[in-house]
Every structure is written in C-alpha cells, then in structure tokens.
Structure 1
Amino acid sequence: MTTRRTADSTAPRTTGSTGRRTAGAGRPGRRPGGPDTRGEILRAARDSFADKGFTATSIRAVAREAGVDAALVHHYFDSKDELFIEAMAIPVDPRQIAAHILDGPREELGRRIATVFLGVWESADGQQRMKAIFRSVVSSDEVARVMREGITQLIIQPVSRAIDVPDAHLRVSLVATQLIGLAMARYLVELEPVAGADVQTLIDRLAPVLQLHLTG
C-alpha cells in the first residue's frame, strides 16, 4: 500500500477545542460548567443528530438531554451548525469551505473545489478524521443520514444557490459523487496510480470535470 504524504498548505482552518471559551462562574444553566460539561453536551448532540437528524435537532433538546440550560450550550457553541461540526468531528468548518469555494470567478469553481477538497484530505489531522467519518458513514445508516443532511445544508445548498441554474442541486450533487469516489479510491482503497499521484496532477485532471458538472 502507498504511504500517504500529507501537507497542510491548501487546507482551510481546522476546528477544534483550541481557543474555545470555557464555562465560568455566573453563567446560566441548571448545572454549572464542569470539566466534562462540554463533552456531555457533545455526546447529547451526537445522540440527537443520530436519532432525529440535523434539521429536527434543536439546541434546547440537546441542552435538556445534557441536563443543562440552553444558554450554557450557547456558551460553548455559537450555533447548531457549530455544534454539528464539533459533534461529528468534522476536521474543517463546512461553512468556511462553502465561503472559500464561492470566493472567486465562476469559471474557476471546479478548480477551487478540487483544491479545497484535496487540501483537507492531504493534511495529517484531516485525513485521519475524514477516514473515520467515511468509514462511519458506510457502516451506519444513522451517521450517513446525519452527514447527508448537515453537508447538504452547509455546503451543497449554498453552492447550488450561487450557480443559480434550474438543476443546480443535481449538478452540485454530481460534483459530490466525483469527490467521494476520488477519496475512496485514493485514501481508503489506495488504488494505484490514483493513490500515488501528485496532488497538483489530480487537481488539474479533476477541476475540468467538476467545472463541466457545474456550468457545462
């Protein structure tokens, strides 16, 4: 099998607990923030996302399950989107991915998508966590449903609105199939010569295909 080379140069900023606000005295909540309060909120969120899906999960329901006030959940997580990203251990913020993809000329959308996607996978932390997510998705219907709903709302819908064509959702979904297939072949199955190909070569080959799906 090919040993993967990793590089962080093209990956968007990763998310995580570094720099996160910590609960302090005087914050509202049925239980004050303790050493594992944030972890309990994340566990409750994972359960809720798995049971109800992204759309039906609410901050109040997660707070109730975790035994805290909704204000304390907001103390740790600014929004349900952020809670989803942290709970599912997504290595990058999908909102930042969408913003980066859309920041530039329409005729270069395919190249930006390919560059950002491979940048995430080529980073050491990103590759490890994305492999875990992919394996969870293919082995669990619940995880697949949660990821599908979340990524649809946070990435696919914004990009679909931006290209502004009648079949935009189908076009962006076809792009997703290309990216998923590439990830499976290169990083999980390690199919040669895709697994050992230079990243820039892959971007150069993939970008026109993605652009054709989007605007062709």
Structure 2
Amino acid sequence: MEPENRRTAGRRTGESGTRDAILAAAREQFAGKGYDGASLRVIAAAAGVDTGLIRHFYGSKDDLFDAALELPDEIPQRLTRALTGDPDRLGERLIDVYLGFWEDPASAGALLAIVRSAIASDHAADRLQAMLSARFLADLAPHLGGTIGQARVALAGAHLLGIAVARYVVRAGPIADLDRAELIALCAPAIQRYLTGPRPTS
C-alpha cells in the first residue's frame, strides 16, 4: 500500500475543483510516466491533495487511470462526420480528424497517457485495444462491410497510431517537422487504400 501524502491542502475550490485537479494531475503523470511509473502519491502531490481524496473520488489507481483516459464525447461524432462526403477523399478526412484529436488539448492528454502507458503496461495495452475497437471499429467498420471492413479499419488504425507515436510521442524529426497539410497529403492515399481499395483475392 502506498504511503499517504500528508499535505494538508485538502479540497480545492469544492469537490468539483478537487476532482478536476486530481484528474488533470493524473493525466499529466500518466502521459509523462506511463501507468506503472505514475504513483498515487506523486499524483496527489501534483494535485495538492491527500491520496485519501483520490481514493474517495476515484477509488483505485486502475479506476483513476480509466477516468484519465476518457475521451470527449464528440470524438465518435467527429469520426462519423468524416464518413460523409466524397468517398474518394475518406482517407484525407479521416487523418485530418485524427490529427486533430492529438492536437486538441481536450483529448491529447488522454491519448498520450494511453500510448505511453501501453508500451510498458498490459493493463494500458488492453485499454488501448478497447479504445481502438470502440472508436474506430464500431464507428467505421459497418460502413465498409462485414469482416473485411474490420480488417481494413484495424490496418488504418495501426497506420494512424504509428504516425501519432512518431509525431507526438517520440517526436521523430522528419515526421514531427512536417507541415500538417503535407503530412495529410502524404499519408491520405495509404489510409484511403486500406479503407476503400480493391478487395484482396485469394
């Protein structure tokens, strides 16, 4: 059991402010250190509260982690909107929306926490798989047709995840330095091919 953080900052601007402070600190710590590297004691210190308050509001570390990884409700709506329009430009629209998630402060922290944690934690890896299934497969695969649709979306998702890791997590120079419009133009044809290219023949 982790030692209690004995700071006496207590509740900050009421219960709602305390919950928000804990969640913000958790996202920052999970994003920077991953699931295994972020302790409740350090999160409590960053939030200016006792670890007991974390347990009061969120329960266990697993529960806090799940709360920190919650993405805004509009994400599936934005994905669905990307499906409308010229089918020949679906890849372009999808990667544009996806990059927007990583560049939006409302979702970027949770995405960083998921990916960095998934590298070192089976729990986080399972959470990442669940998120990809819920956000991409559930929303997009039905529009592409049956099992082949699921495979297409899974491949597109893996490609997009690789781009995000290179650009936003490890900040690999050639990819991180690309202009956003240029990155979209370079990658959209591959995403388009995954999603709408000819069905493979046996």
Say yes or no: TM over 0.5. yes
* Stretches of structure 2 lacking an aligned partner (at least 5 in a row): 1-15, 17-53, 198-202
Identity of aligned residues (%): 30
Q: Does 1:43 align with 2:58?
A: yes
2:163 alignment partner, one of 182, 193, 209: 182
Moved more, 92-101 or 131-140: 92-101
Distance 1:166 1:155, change over 3 A: closer
| Aligned counterparts, 1:21-170, within 5 A | 43-44=58-59, 47=62, 86-90=67-71, 93-164=74-145, 166-170=147-151
Describe the SS at the equivalent of 1:194. helix
Structure 1 position 196, deviation (Å) = 0.7
Distance 2:184 2:68 in 1: 30
Distance 2:143 2:64 in 1: 27
Structure 1 position 124, deviation (Å) = 4.0
Does structure 2 conserve the Cα–Cα contact (< 8 Å) formed by 1:46 and 1:87?
no
Distance 1:149 1:127, change over 3 A: closer
* Stretches of structure 1 lacking an aligned partner (at least 5 in a row): 1-16, 18-38, 51-83
Distance 1:97 1:117 in 2: 9
2:186 aligns to what? 205
1:8-64 CA distance string (max 9 Å, x none): xxxxxxxxx9xxxxxxxxxxxxxxxxxxxxx779735974698xxxxxxxxxxxxxx
Q: Which has the higher helix share?
A: 2
* TM-score after normalising by structure 2: 0.61
> Which one scores higher on RCO, CA 8 angstroms, separation ≥ 6?
1
Describe the SS at the equivalent of 1:167. helix
Does structure 2 conserve the Cα–Cα contact (< 8 Å) formed by 1:137 and 1:144?
yes
Distance 1:154 1:114, change over 3 A: closer
Describe the SS at the equivalent of 1:143. helix
Does structure 2 conserve the Cα–Cα contact (< 8 Å) formed by 1:46 and 1:88?
no
Does structure 2 conserve the Cα–Cα contact (< 8 Å) formed by 1:49 and 1:146?
no
Moved more, 143-152 or 195-204: 143-152
Question: What letter is aligned with 1:43?
Answer: Y
Structure 1 position 96, deviation (Å) = 1.9
* TM-score after normalising by structure 1: 0.57
1:26 aligns to what? none
